[in-house]
Amino acid sequence: MLSVHTSPLHQPGTGDAGGMNVYIVELARRLAAIDIEVEIFTRATTGALPPTVELAPGVLVRHVDAGPYEGLAKEDLPAQLCAFTHGVMQVWAGHRPGHYDLVHSHYWLSGHVGWLAAQRWGTPLVHAMHTMAKVKNAALAAGDTPEPAARVIGETQIVRAADRLIANTAEEAGELVRHYESEPHKVAVVHPGVNLDRFRPAPPHQHLAATALDVYRETSPETSPEAVAASRAAARERLGLPQHALVPLFAGRIQPLKAPDVVLRAVAHLLTEHPSLRDRVVLPVVGGPSGSGLAKPEGLQKLAARLGIADLVQFRPPVGQERLADWYRAASVLVMPSYSESFGLVAAEAQACGTPVIAAAVGGLPVAVRDGVSGFLVDGHDPADYARMLHRFVTAPDLAARMGASAARHAQSFGWDAAAAATADVYGAALHERRGRLRSTHG
């Protein structure tokens, strides 16, 4: 596997680390569990880590020196692809011939390294876009920076070169065919997964109050509204959040693409329409600035002050996955008004924890969120529309628990084991096709 611009060892929610990091780590672990050994090549961003790190049995992370460890923006990385490729080739030269059976590249920067490596080694290239420049540029947030033409050209080349392309959803598969003229037979749809052991309505070994524990034990499965409500109460106690507050949560990288400003404006609109709710709303924002958001890292705090809701917003830095799961559990609802999402892992994780989602009806979110069952989909990014959805959770106090129970059940279909098995099938098809071509060539 190739992941040039972000390491699977990085904390999601910081810098360029996000859903793709989680995707690569979880997929690699599950592939190793079904006897597919994985080596992940990524760019070294600190001298503190050794050249190789065992992430899990059968999963090795290799750090490649390519450019300075720190201070290199994602936009500057194309100039380091030659150095990165050289590092990959050096490792390969130390192995016996045929050591690598297949190359799986993630994101367009990795795709260019994968293109060369796969040709040099005589292996298939499987590529996952994760996001696409043409799709992002068609749905830019106000003030966001368009993706450069060089990326569009690069993605087009990779689509042509790859033996197989993995898309998160049928819509993304259609976009690959429509925008990049991919051959339809080369595109396979594999939904990303969720770590259902970590993201669940109640964490393992959770210590609930006696009454809540009785409810939890008596309900089967744990995805009943009563169990979800009990888990939410316990999570709020752990995080110091008021029990009866409306807690809309934003979790993710703080950048225009993810539209955290829409969440703040929606809460401000809700309070303008219903001033009596002011003492009953807490808005946690869990994540760090990223991408074009790095230019104005304090922008969201200043917006909260201008909207008059600074006292209601809790800005929290990115947290580990165990802690993030607790933030999901504690929330009344996750709000995800992104302008573009290839899938929306955050939405799937929150639902797995028993929390409904209000999301923009873009990209893969209509697959991740079942409208009216596990959450609500909103057309567009008008804060008033999101405020109206938030108000539904005020007028129906049991809605968060009822919809959260449905969300937890819905998320059960997004397990990583299924994603790994489907990915292994894609690998098998690519290898079979490659061997068939070799036989016909030499026949």
Please report, in range form, the residues annotated as the binding site for Mg(2+). Answer: 328-329, 331, 355
- The C-alpha atoms of residue 381 and residue 401 are separated, in whole angstroms, by 26
Q: What is the DSSP letter of 5?
A: S
- The C-alpha atoms of residue 163 and residue 126 are separated, in whole angstroms, by 6
Which residues are CB-contacts of 397 (< 8 A; sequence separation ≥ 6)? none
Q: Are 117 and 2 in contact (CB under 8 A)?
A: yes
Three-state DSSP state, 372: coil
Q: Which residue has the tokens 């979880």?
A: 26
Alpha-carbon distances of 323 from 94, 272, 284, 305, 402, rounded to whole Å: 41, 32, 13, 27, 23
Tokens in use for 173? 């598969």
Binding residues: 5, 11-12, 16-21, 74, 107, 131, 151, 253, 258, 319, 328-329, 331, 341, 349, 355
- The C-alpha atoms of residue 296 and residue 319 are separated, in whole angstroms, by 21
Q: Which residue has the tokens 């037979």?
A: 185
Binding residues for UDP-N-acetyl-alpha-D-glucosamine: 11-12, 19, 253, 258, 319, 341, 349
Give the phi and the psi of residue 59 in degrees, each rounded to 5.
Answer: -130, 115
Beta strands in 173-279 (DSSP E): 187-189, 248-251
Cis omega before residue 221 (within 30°)? Answer: yes
- The C-alpha atoms of residue 181 and residue 169 are separated, in whole angstroms, by 17
> What are the residues facing 371 on neighbouring strands?
375
Report the Cα 184 to chain-centroid distance in Å.
25
- The C-alpha atoms of residue 343 and residue 192 are separated, in whole angstroms, by 8
Binding residues for 1D-myo-inositol 3-phosphate: 5, 16-21, 74, 107, 131, 151
